[in-house]
Amino acid sequence: MSGGPYPVADLAAYLTGRWRLDRTMRDHRAGQTGTMTGVLEIAPDGESHAWRERAELAMGAYRGPAWRDYRLGFVTPRRAAVYFDDGRPFHELDLSDGFCRQRHDCPPDLYSGVFIAFGADRWQMRWRVRGPKKRLHIVTDLARDG
């Protein structure tokens, strides 16, 4: 994706909606590359927002559905706390500068993330995962759907 970074003043307003999701994954340990194509929907749900990914995954011999759910709690208009669907904290997200770096320590693995807003309707997530059994690079491109 080109452009960016695009400063986001109201993160909830920016993220809320339906996004086309295109993800590439490279598992350096297994020597595999995969893709995931589908939809990310972010919507108010009680006191927080629900983050729901629904997609088709092709990785190694697997071809089929994939999903992931998170919760977003907006701490300020510019910043959200991201939680796993079971309530455990994952990371914070602040795109007020159009760019955000985060780390998530999940022993024995370390997740390093970069988030970039490229415009009002495009953003990207990049994760590097390192650990004794993991060495992954994951890039997710998101474009507003509709």
Q: Classify each residue of 18-35 as buried b or exposed e, where b means 16 or more C-beta atoms within 10 Å of its C-beta.
A: ebbbbbebebeeeeeebe
Q: What confidence score (pLDDT) does residue 137 get?
A: 98
| pTM for the structure as a whole | 0.93
Provide the pLDDT for residue 14.
98
Cβ neighbours of 103 (radius 10 Å): 9
Q: Give 10-residue mean pLDDT values along the chain (146 residues).
A: 83 98 97 98 96 97 97 95 96 96 93 97 97 96 94
Q: Which domains does the chain have, with CATH numbers?
A: 11-144 (2.40.128.20)
Would you state the pLDDT for residue 146?
A: 75
